[in-house]
Homo-oligomer: A and B are copies of this chain.
């Protein structure tokens, strides 16, 4: 890794060249690199924390001056008990995941001695732009190297000293490994982003990790494919048949366990028949936790007079914009609908296709909702806060995608890979087939039969994963 003063073009070209070398390293070489980075960061803890203290100092002053939020300062702090160790463990966790590349995921006998294989490989060069949290650099570096991708990392201004220290340590440790140092490059100055976003010849995928403003800016400024989500307007549709106690538990978790999360609940869609039964119980619990309820007229009418008068101020009439807003706060919009079809139409029109849930005991209603809601994650009787790579069992995630192509929902290592088609023959040519008289065999082969492309151990692993349902 280098903390570079090169131009954006030079950075991108060097990453591209480095990526070609990284792509052909063995599983062992990539894993050994993660071991080396882990050891170096463990040893360099004092150095990193000293740099982090400088960032914290500056951030605290900015917070006092009112130019930085207290929660952002908190996210900067690498010295908090267990945080540095979690960062270190994260590197080993990624190392110990199955290798996502060089896996044969399909094989077809086109003709005798003419075998087509689909083999996973790295995407190439990633541009990752993230805000604040300095530990992300270690996490992303581990994911990139594990998946054989070069990465250009642009961190937030507030953690520049922490980034520089981590980058310098990773750089020193890379020098002892098979991974070229240009495969991880840190750029610090904000003014290079616009030029980096123009390097579509050398950069294959851009992943912005941060707020709506950052993501929209990136999407609007580049022809490089962008993986991510601008908004997390998550909804839950509460049916009248669902027990109030369970509904309350789920909705409280979805709204209040981390309101700043992109998977936090922003809209409660309520079946009309639940207005006077379940909704008052759920609403009371939300109000007691300090959640403002922005209700449409029907819901407001149903709730008025039924709630603790202390909470009256938190019961509000919704404006039209409330159903298209990511509050990221203790605010919830409440919308009344007559049926699951109306709920589906509302969510497809006003949600952000991130994560949406239905609470019901009815099988048919649930399946209608799960099939028709066009979101990356759709849930039945659980909290939208479940949308997370670690919770999904991916080990870790690079972000959550609301894209309609490539990778959708929480994106783990698989989302950083693509495949190539490998065809091995013995001088067969296209003109021999079709009008040429020869017929294609097109016989699906089990992944695991030797075609000379994969080592036996790898093939067994692939087969095992296919048999247990893993991609």
Residues of chain B within 8 A (CB-CB) of A424 are: 379-382
Q: In chain A, residues 425-454, which have Cβ atoms closer than 8 Å to a Cβ of chain B?
A: 425-431, 433, 440, 442, 444-448, 452-453
Q: Can you pick out 19 interface pairs between chain A and chain B where the beta carbons lie within 8 Å of each other?
A: A20-B372, A20-B374, A23-B372, A106-B470, A107-B469, A116-B393, A124-B374, A204-B405, A225-B403, A249-B427, A253-B429, A257-B431, A385-B431, A386-B423, A386-B428, A406-B406, A406-B418, A409-B421, A445-B468
Nearest-neighbour CB distance to chain B for A21, whole angstroms, equals 9
Q: Does A60 contact B (CB under 8 A)?
A: no
Q: Is the interface of A mostly helix, strand, loop or mixed?
A: mixed
Q: Which of B223, B381, B425, B431 sits near A427, CB closer than 8 Å?
A: B381
Q: Which of B392, B404, B431 sits near A108, CB closer than 8 Å?
A: B392
A123 and B405 within 8 A (CB): yes
Please report the C-alpha to C-alpha distance between residue A403 and residue B429 in the assembled complex, in whole angstroms.
Answer: 26
| Copies of chain A in the complex | 2
Nearest-neighbour CB distance to chain B for A167, whole angstroms, equals 26
Given A220-B223, A418-B404, A469-B445; A110-B393 close (CB under 8 Å):
yes
Q: Does A348 contact B (CB under 8 A)?
A: yes
Q: Which residue of B lies closest to A225 (CB)?
A: B405
Q: Does A157 contact B (CB under 8 A)?
A: no
B446 and A467 within 8 A (CB): yes
Residues of chain B within 8 A (CB-CB) of A433 are: 391
Residues of chain B within 8 A (CB-CB) of A110 are: 386, 391-393
A421 and B392 within 8 A (CB): yes
A383 and B429 within 8 A (CB): yes
B205 and A405 within 8 A (CB): yes
Please report the C-alpha to C-alpha distance between residue A42 and residue B348 in the assembled complex, in whole angstroms.
Answer: 38
The 3 closest A-B pairs by CB, nearest first: A382-B425, A253-B429, A393-B442
A404 and B220 within 8 A (CB): no
Given A404-B418, A421-B377, A430-B385; A391-B466 close (CB under 8 Å):
no
Q: Does A370 contact B (CB under 8 A)?
A: yes
Q: Does A419 contact B (CB under 8 A)?
A: yes
Q: Which of B204, B381, B448, B468 sits near A404, CB closer than 8 Å?
A: B204
Please report the C-alpha to C-alpha distance between residue A227 and residue B37 in the assembled complex, in whole angstroms.
Answer: 37
B381 and A422 within 8 A (CB): no
Q: Does A250 contact B (CB under 8 A)?
A: yes
B467 and A429 within 8 A (CB): no
Q: In chain A, residues 394-415, which have Cβ atoms closer than 8 Å to a Cβ of chain B?
A: 403-410
Q: Which of B249, B392, B423, B444 sits near A377, CB closer than 8 Å?
A: B423
Q: Which residue of B lies closest to A107 (CB)?
A: B469
Q: Does A185 contact B (CB under 8 A)?
A: no
Q: Does A378 contact B (CB under 8 A)?
A: yes
Q: Does A363 contact B (CB under 8 A)?
A: yes
Please report the C-alpha to C-alpha distance between residue A428 and residue B204 in the assembled complex, in whole angstroms.
Answer: 38
Please report the C-alpha to C-alpha distance between residue A428 and residue B246 in the assembled complex, in whole angstroms.
Answer: 9
Residues of chain B within 8 A (CB-CB) of A383 are: 428-430
Please report the C-alpha to C-alpha distance between residue A430 and residue B118 in the assembled complex, in whole angstroms.
Answer: 37
Q: Which residue of B lies closest to A263 (CB)?
A: B430
Which of A246, A379, A404, A468: most chain B Cβ within 10 A?
A404
